[in-house]
Amino acid sequence: MEKVIGLKCRECERQYPKEPLHVCEFCFGPLEVDYDYEVIRKSISRESIEDGPDSLWRYSDLLPIDGEPTDGLNSGFTPLIRARNLENALGVNELYIKDDSVCHPTLSFKDRVVAVALSKSKEFGFDTVSCASTGNLANSVAAHAAIANLNCFIFIPADLELGKVIASLVYAPTVVGISGNYDDVNRLCSEIAGVYPWAFANINLRPFYAEGSKTLCFELIEQLGWEAPDHLILPAAGGSLITKAKKSFKEFHLMGLIDEPKTKIHVAQAEGCGPIVATLKEEGDFVKPVKPDTIAKSLAIGNPADGIYAVSTVRDSGGEGEFATDEEIVEAMKLLAATEGIFTETAGGVTLAVTKKLIESGHIGREDRTVVGITGNGLKTIEALDAKVEEPHIIQPQLNAFKKLMTTLE
Ligand SMILES: *Cc1c(COP(=O)(O)O)cnc(C)c1O
Ligand SMILES: [Zn+2]
């Protein structure tokens, strides 16, 4: 028996075969992977998972590939850190950082989704992979394509951070910078995908790609001793990670691996690009696109593909949506570094700033078990801290010069 039945429309539930498709021909709803959970339940257990590889592929029973995984074999099982210093700083008793800025080849959670998308694209027989990206996805697709010897085309907004651009170029794909924002890039890529027979990780392979996000939550549940936390705070760009968080909790429960999860899923966005949070705050029924203006460029998607599903995920879980200003983002990046020694990118600043606000507003209780998802590495967005940290003290190479400096520091 096969574990993946095919694809299914999220809206009208019409079924589709296992193919590189992503929208329903009838209602234009997004397609999702449809599993046969009865089949999976027969082989999955806590023990089978614990005996698996120390990578995201330990959850391959719940991932949509048919054969053995061929990509992202060194990715995942990232640290879950008990953040004692941060607990003191924020006045809470049980706070964890899920640090997805390390233990991935390109230092962001996007290596999870790309591991699945590229394994799948090889099963489909594509020789060229591509993506529309706000930066991290570009880095990841380019790196994985290099390993797999695939042709690679990367499409990004032309004004991305230098670190993100170079961390794509180094793998020697074709990088195309678009004069416009991510939503312009994405629109162009949808047109290109209709003409060129390529695997676009987040367009025609999106149903498969998105499933990779689940592994972040699978891991943290396992790392908490097979328990779901009370609160999970995650950032949102296209909204896929948020919706898959809920799916991962549901699936682990369905497979009998955990008790019924009661996790409140909270969504963090920048004030300069927060269409999902705005919809939650306004109690709206649809997501109004916005024009992004924020230093959190990795989250700067003004028209999120999974926006309304992210909204209902948060709402159904009893969670909140909250914004962070650019200034709060920088403060939170510095706080995480100073307390836990973790240098996160702007997206992590958004997530921690929002966590702090939710604690202050009482939405996260001081005794609650809380996990903060840190999804990317700070070395890729150093310009966000330019002139926002202390300058080095420049001195002559003489002991006297150092002593003189010391008197000024006292
Ligand atoms: C892409 C990205 C996200 C959010 O992903 P979505 O699934 O599109 O909401 C979060 N953090 C970082 C660092 C990212 O690059
Ligand atoms: Zn449909």
Ligand 1 within 6 A of CB of 307? no
- Does a structural domain hold residue 315? yes
The pLDDT score that the predictor gives to residue 134 is: 94
CATH number for position 309: 3.40.50.1100
* CA nearest to 263, candidates 212, 309, 307, 314: 314
**Largest Cα–Cα separation, the chain:** 78
In this predicted model, what pLDDT tens digit does every residue of 347-400 receive, in sequence order? 999 999 999 999 999 999 999 999 999 999 999 999 999 999 999 999 999 999
- Give this prediction's pTM: 0.97
For residue 378, the enclosing domain spans 80-106+211-385
Q: 352 and 303 share a domain?
A: yes
The pLDDT score that the predictor gives to residue 204 is: 96
The pLDDT score that the predictor gives to residue 410 is: 79
> Which residue has the CA at smallest separation from atom 14 of ligand 1?
298
User: 298 by DSSP, 3-state: which?
Assistant: helix
Ligand 1 within 6 A of CB of 136? yes
DSSP letters, 79-90, are -EEE-HHHHHHH
Q: Alpha-carbon distance 345 to 334, whole Å? A: 10
In this predicted model, what pLDDT tens digit does every residue of 303-348 receive, in sequence order? 999 999 999 999 999 999 999 999 999 999 999 999 999 999 999 9
Q: 239 and 323 share a domain?
A: yes
- Does a structural domain hold residue 66? no
- Does a structural domain hold residue 190? no
Helix (H) / strand (E) element for 129: namely strand 128-132
Q: 284 and 366 share a domain?
A: yes
- Does a structural domain hold residue 292? yes
Q: How far is the CA of 28 from the centre of ligand 2 (A)?
A: 6
Task: For residue 302, give both structure tokens.
Answer: 């003004």
Task: Kindly provide the residue ranges of all beta strands, DSSP E only, lying in 10-105, ordered along the sequence.
Answer: 15-16, 31-35, 80-82, 94-99
- Does a structural domain hold residue 240? yes
Q: 23 and 85 share a domain?
A: no
- Does a structural domain hold residue 314? yes
The pLDDT score that the predictor gives to residue 1 is: 73
Q: 39 and 100 share a domain?
A: no
Overall domain count for the chain: 2
- Does a structural domain hold residue 311? yes
| End-to-end Cα separation, the chain, in angstroms | 72
Q: In what order do the strands lie in the sheet with 321-324?
A: 80-82, 94-99, 369-374, 231-235, 264-270, 321-324
Q: 338 and 241 share a domain?
A: yes
Q: Alpha-carbon distance 384 to 268, whole Å? A: 18
Q: Alpha-carbon distance 268 to 233, whole Å? A: 7
Residue ranges of the chain with per-residue pLDDT less than 50: none
- Does a structural domain hold residue 301? yes
Tallying the residues shown for the chain, one arrives at: 410
> Which residue has the CA at smallest separation from atom 12 of ligand 1?
375
Q: Alpha-carbon distance 331 to 148, whole Å? A: 39
Ligand 1 within 6 A of CB of 202? no
